[in-house]
Chains A and B, each alone.
Chain A
């Protein structure tokens, strides 16, 4: 589904991302972990063609993401507030995205029903611009926005940060429930236990390099905790 080959990106002499070969397959939920500056967001930006790579190529469905715009139609992502429309209300925002995917308002409303619990009545029908929402509610809006249009690739940067514990648990359920054999989901997190719980494959980054690439087992969390303790 997604493939990175010989990818390298440096900022002022410092390596931000250096990946020989990394493939993400259909049906996987992949958790990306690492300390600050390990290259998690850089990796996502590379897949979304938001940074120019020094060398190498990122492929989505075997197409170079910097050469084709096809990936945009099946990729949903939320990395930062710049993925929101701060002068829209959440409802207008959802409508805007669904129109991009030619989804009717009726279908959108139906789709959004499943998030009622997550939204906690603070997002739908609220007559506030997104810029006036709290950080947590902005994040919820962005994440759900990324899920509109039934994307095959979903990329979420730090989805659990800024959310209250109840919402974190609800979000975990949602991520698990949307995964299916045709989808590739990538999430990054600082919270090791959260991310190991949701994902079935863990990629550990440090200084832009893949240090570990594990299929989740019962031992994974312990292994990760051990690693970060030593590091």
Chain B
């Protein structure tokens, strides 16, 4: 299917997001290398941690739990190339060959490749010397079967989720409960599975995974065949509108408050934006994980304060103007002054920092130092970081679909968004550095707060500067947001 390759090559995300693709590519290679190391070391690791158990036996059990987690991860992240064929349906290509193409193409993906990097080294190091040749080949085949079983189950779930999302939620919930049960030690599923796996390749049971695999492939095949109609790929998402979110103090008043209200509704009613909101709330307790480091190093303290008070801004702010890409022309042509627009953005980011500051207040019970640093950094966030993001948004914004699913969605990001994290983290540390070297840690924090307060006091002035920049760049944004691909 040459057309598919061209579609990938010529898609604007390929060119624009080249940096991102390279980054993701590196991440992928890194994970493969990790897997390879695990594969080579597996027998030694198991021998060390579970000295009394049979290595192959235990490996099977661990592998079973990996498969379960893998299934959940796949469900959340993996995308199958189902939708991409819809445009070929009317062409003179046989439906069956299209489906066969879909099935074959889906096999070659990262999630299927990753476990192979673990299994194959393990096979040569441990299994082959330990077992008979026939037995070990059976073992390998069983493993492969299980991986592809996972693959096709998640494929099936993926198609199903278009029609009956509820069913898949139940299945995922059951799986999660099983994983939890295993983890807590209520049930030993992995033990049971590893028993099964050890016995499987020594008996006639070996045919079972093969049979199940063939069965699931034929189910997927049939489901695909019956659902190659356009309507099956369009989720009927004509949901009933939820009530307008109107904050009492925002309903009457200036245009700025009207625009803030618009933005809040936008966040609430668009999947991806909403996910960003939830994620940033979830990030706050995350800081507890490196509590020990925070106590030791003032720099960790500053960084964690940045993440606590600014987590919404650091996430949401990266796409600050992109969120409006689907209605940007409206904002530019209706009776809305650019200054009000920017002010609304500023107030929203600032409010998020202040709200997160109050949410993270209970952490003060753990360490008063956190409270102290949060109180200083929140000023810095509101006065300085907000403007870095707004200013940056003017230069690096792309069209996004705010309602698209949010997991592992890199739409609208460019390499610049990753690089910007560096100055955001490094600048406050650099400002603080001379003071901490002299031993005035607290004073340094006060200085950061003072810079922030200066930014807050001058915010009208800064907003006007941003408006000037936006006036020059707005044509570029209009153009970037209107290219529909």
Contact = CB atoms under 8 A, between A and B. Distances in A.
Interface in A159-218: none
Interface in B381-413: 402-403
Interface stretch (B63-71, B95-103, B120-128, B475-483): B475-483
Contact of B330 (A51, A84, A99, A131): A84
Contact of B269 (A49, A52, A129, A149): A129
B332 interface: yes
Contacts of A79: 329
Interface string B309-351: 0000000000000000011111011111110000000000000
A74 B238 CA distance: 34
A99 B260 CA distance: 13
Nearest to A87: B269
B255 interface: yes
A81 interface: yes
B326 A82 contact: yes
A128 B238 contact: yes
Contacts of B337: 69, 72
A185 to B, nearest CB: 16
Contacts of A101: 335
B241 to A, nearest CB: 5
Listed residue (B258, B266, B330, B403) with the most chain A CB atoms within 10 angstroms of its CB: B330
Nearest to A47: B333
Contact of A83 (B262, B270, B333): B333
Contacts, number: 84
A73 B255 CA distance: 13
Interface of chain B, main secondary structure = helix
A84 B262 CA distance: 12
Contacts of B238: 128, 132
A96 B327 contact: no
Given A85-B262, A87-B265, A100-B258, A80 B335 contact: no
Contact of A77 (B258, B333, B336): B333
Contacts of A81: 326
A88 B265 contact: yes
A82 B269 contact: no
A111 to B, nearest CB: 16
A135 B294 CA distance: 55
Contacts of B475: 50-52
A50 B335 CA distance: 14
Nearest to B329: A82
Interface of chain A, main secondary structure = loop
Contacts of A52: 475
Nearest to A95: B244
In this complex, the interface size class of chain A, counting residues with CB under 8 Å from chain B, is 20 to 34
A86 interface: yes
A75 B333 contact: yes
A144 B262 CA distance: 20
A96 B250 CA distance: 13
Contacts of B237: 132
B365 interface: no
A72 B333 contact: yes
Contacts of B240: 127-128
Interface in A118-166: 127-129, 131-132, 149
Interface string B216-246: 0000000000000000000001111100100
29 contacts: A48-B333, A50-B333, A51-B478, A66-B471, A69-B338, A72-B337, A75-B333, A77-B333, A82-B482, A83-B329, A85-B262, A85-B266, A86-B326, A87-B402, A87-B403, A88-B265, A89-B241, A92-B265, A96-B258, A100-B258, A100-B334, A100-B335, A100-B336, A128-B238, A128-B240, A129-B241, A132-B237, A132-B238, A132-B239
Which 7 pairs from chain A and chain B are nearest by CB? Answer: A52-B475, A82-B329, A87-B269, A132-B238, A100-B335, A83-B330, A73-B335
Given A87-B403, A127-B241, 5 more contacts: A82-B326, A82-B327, A82-B482, A84-B330, A128-B241
Interface of B: 237-241, 244, 255, 258, 262, 265-266, 269-270, 326-330, 332-338, 402-403, 471, 475, 478-479, 481-482
